[in-house]
Amino acid sequence: MEELNDSNSAEAQEEPLLEDDGGHAQDEETSDERQGAAQASPAAELPDEQLRSIMEVLLLVSDRPLSVTKIQEVIEGLSKKRIYEVIEQVRTHFSDNGFPFQVREVANGYLLSTLPEYSHWVRVFYAPKLRTSKLSQAALETLAVIAYKQPITRAEVEAIRGVNIDSTLRTLLEKRLVEIVGYKDVIGKPATYGTTNDFLLQFGLKALSDLPSIEELREMNTGS
C-alpha cells in the first residue's frame, strides 16, 4: 500500500508539470500570433518611412516593371492614391540623398534603374550580353513598322518593306518584342501582330503613346 501511495503521489506531482508545459506552449503560440499580426499590419497603419522602405525593397527585387495591381497584392489595403504618394517619396529619398538610382514609369509599371550618367559603366558590364542580343537592321525596321502600324499582318509588313520577313518576324517573336494580338476579318483570317510590354521595357517607354510621331522621326532624320 505504501508503494501505491508513493506512486500516486509521484503522479500527482507530475501532473502540474504537464499543465505548465501546456501553458508555456500556449504562451509561445500567443507570442507567435502577436508577431505575425504585427508583421501583417494593415497598410493604412504603417508609418510613411516603413511604407517607403517596403516599396524600395519591392522595386529592388522585382525583375519586371512593378504594376500598381501587383503592389496592392503585396501590400494589401494600400490605395492607388497612396501608392503614387509613396512612389514619389521613394524618388525624393533617392534624389535628396544622392543615390545613383531613379524610379521610372515604363511598360505600365515602375522600374528601379540607374541614372543616365552611369550608363557607360552599365554598358561595359553588360557588353557581352548586349553583343549577342543586338537586333539587326532588318529586325529594327520590321519592328518599327509593326510598332507604328499595329495591328498589322505579316503580308502587310512585307508589302511596306518589300522583302520576306519570315525569319525576322520569328526573331522578334522569340525575343518577345512582338506577339499575335488578333486575326484579321478577311479570307484566311491572317494573324495580326503588335508590340508587347517587353518592347516598351526595352525602349524605355511608358506607353505606345510615348513613341515619337512620324513627323518627329523625319525631323530627327533630316537634322532640322
Q: Give tens-digit pLDDT for 45-67.
A: 788 899 999 999 999 999 889 99
Distance CA 49, CA 211 (A): 36
For 143-193, what is each residue's pLDDT tens digit? 999 999 999 999 999 999 999 999 999 999 999 999 999 999 999 899 999
Instruction: Kindly report each contact of residues 99-105 with a partner whose C-beta sits within 8 Å and lies 24 or more positions away, as own/partner.
Output: 103/59, 104/204, 105/206
What integer is the mean pLDDT of 22-43? 52
pTM of the model: 0.59
Are 150 and 194 in contact, with CB atoms under 8 Å apart?
A: yes
- Nearest by Cα to 176 from 48, 61, 64, 66: 64
Give the pLDDT band of residue 208 (cuts 50, 70, 90): confident
- Start-to-end CA distance of the chain, whole Å, equals 114
pLDDT of residue 15: 47
Neighbours of 68 (CB within 10 A): 16
pLDDT of residue 122: 84
Distance CA 54, CA 48 (A): 10
Mean pLDDT, all residues of the chain = 80
Distance CA 53, CA 46 (A): 11
Are 156 and 188 in contact, with CB atoms under 8 Å apart?
A: no
